Every structure is written in C-alpha cells, then in structure tokens.
Amino acid sequence: MNPQSIPTPIGEDDLHAQADGRLAGPRRLEVDHWLASHPQEAGQVAAWRAQNALLHRAYDNILDAPLPARLLDASRPAAAANHWSWRIAAVVAWLAVGGVIGYWLRGDAGLSPDSRGLASLPHQAAIAHAVYSPEVRHPVEVGAEQEAHLSAWLSKRLGGPLKPPHLENAGYALVGGRLLPGEGAAGGGAVAQFMYQATNGRRLTLYVRNDASGSRETAFRTAEEGGIRVFYWLDGRFGYALSGESAAFTSAELLRVATLIYRQINP
C-alpha cells in the first residue's frame, strides 16, 4: 500500500505536534495544507503557539540570571568534598562511641578473652583507611617503586618479616605503604598500612598490626563502620585488616582479595 495515496487523517495530536514544531517535513506540509481549509483548528494551533511564546517571554530571563551559590554548592559531586567531610564526621562519631563498640564485641561468645584486643583492629583500620585513602598527593610514605626498602623498613619496625602482598592478579596495584602509630606498648607500638589501587581509582588498604601474643589464627571477620567495610583476621603474630569503602566494594570482592592475601602469607 502506498501511504501517500491514502492520507492519514489529521487528528488533534497532529495539531499539537504542529504547534510544537514536532512534525517532520512531509507531514507538516500536509497538516498546513489541511489547516488552510479549517480556520477553527488553525486558530487553535495559533493560540497554542502563542501560549508557548508567552511562556518563553515570561520565564526565559531566568536562563540568563546568575546562579545562586547554594545551587552551585548543591551540584558539587558527593564523591568530592561533601562525601569526604561526611565520612570524617562518621569517624569522629565512632571515636566518641568507641566504648560502645568494645562493649558490643565483648558480648561475642566466639571471641576468647585473649582476642578481645581484636575488637579494636577493624576500628583502627577503618579510621586509617578513611584518613589516608582519599589522599591524592601523599597517599603513602614509601612508594611501590621502593618495595624492597618498604618491606625491610616495616619488617624492622613491626618486629617481624612483612612483605606487601601482590594483588595485581586481582586488579589492584600496590601504591606503597606507611608506618602508623599503634595502640601503645601492650598492643605493639607500630602498625603498617599498605595501599592498593584499581585502574578505576578505587582504593583498598591493608592494615597490619603486630599482635605480639604468640601464634593465633582466627577466621575472617567482617565489620562495617562509617561507610567502610573491613575484613580482618589474626594470623601468627600479625593482625590484618583489609578496608574499602562500602559503596565501592561488595563483601564478595573484599573476601576475594582477603583470601588472596591470606594465601600469599601462608603459601
């Protein structure tokens, strides 16, 4: 069937589309032609066009008006300043309620009294993650290019052989590491933090603490604090905690990486 031989009847939708300039060439001509012999509908289309023009005349000046600062502030991506300050606030909040977390973990029947110190591991690790992982210029003290030095230095300070696990196969490159203060004399003074980065910029940190009280091993445990997901475990003299932002890392992904780390430490 040749559509041109049987003209499609012109309906109200066509008239709106004509007023709004939404018709393609041939149909527009067809409707124009039809309107020429239908003055009432032509008047309607003209009135609708006039409405559109009136709306533009009334409100287009807003397009050129300077934007209020509050709207520019509101359009700042959450990933940058806002999100970060929120997270700092969250970190500060747990510092305030740290005692509550300790109390809560005390009630965990699965924990031996000996491992009570374990409670602070994810907490400390998450804080360290929150503080250092957004760093652009100084994410680490010693970069991955000096890996041998990094290992030797941290091994000496933590009092035991320590090498950063290699996670390239999982998609994370070592950025480097830094030395952090621990919880004091009893908990072993020094802590190491290794940082890893995926190609899309997401960062993981591995927090390693010398728990010093002999050989112990625990299963993986998970915690989530202030938007940071932590997998942690004890293995030999060290306690390990792998942290990533909850919004960026699923539990499954962290578990995968934590397993890889565990296997490298225990070949």
Partner 1 sequence: MHSRDAIVAEIPRLRRYAHALLGEANRADDLVQDTLERALSRWRLWQPLRGQGTPRAWLFAIMHNLFINQIKAGKAVEFRPDDELPDLPTRPTQEDALGLRDLTRALASLPGDQREILLLIGLEELSYQEAAKVLGVPIGTVMSRLSRARARLRGVLDEETGGGLLKVIK
Residues that bind partner 1 (CB under 8 A): 12-13, 16-17, 20, 22, 46-65, 67-68, 70-72, 74-80
Place of tokens 């500060």: 92
Q: Which is nearer to partner 1, 15 or 174 (CB)?
A: 15
3-state secondary structure of 15: helix
Cβ-contact 171, 199 below 8 angstroms: yes
Between 87 and 178, whose beta carbon lies closer to partner 1? 87
Least distance (Å) between residue 63 CB and partner 1: 4
DSSP string spanning 181-242? E-S-STT-SEEEEEEEEETTS-EEEEEEEE--SS-EE---EEEEETTEEEEEEEEETEEEEE
Pair 177, 150: CB distance under 8 Å: yes
Minimum CB distance to partner 1, residue 125 (Å): 25
CB of 257 to partner 1, least distance (A): 21
The minimum distance between CB 52 and partner 1, in angstroms, equals 4
Token pair belonging to 250? 């699923």
State the minimum distance, in angstroms, from the CB of residue 170 to partner 1.
Answer: 22
Q: In the complex with partner 1, which residue's Cβ is closer, 77 or 267?
A: 77
Q: Which amino acid is at 193?
A: Q
User: Closest CB to partner 1 among 80 and 97?
Assistant: 80
Angle at 130 between CA 129 and CA 136, to 5 degrees: 90
User: Strand runs (DSSP E) across the chain, as ranges?
Assistant: 142-143, 172-181, 190-198, 203-210, 216-217, 221-225, 228-236, 238-245
Q: How far apart (Å, rounded) are the C-alpha atoms in residues 154 and 163? A: 8
Choice between 86 and 104, CB closer to partner 1: 86
In this complex, which beta carbon is closest to partner 1, that of residue 6 or of residue 67? 67
Shortest CB 55 distance to partner 1, Å: 4
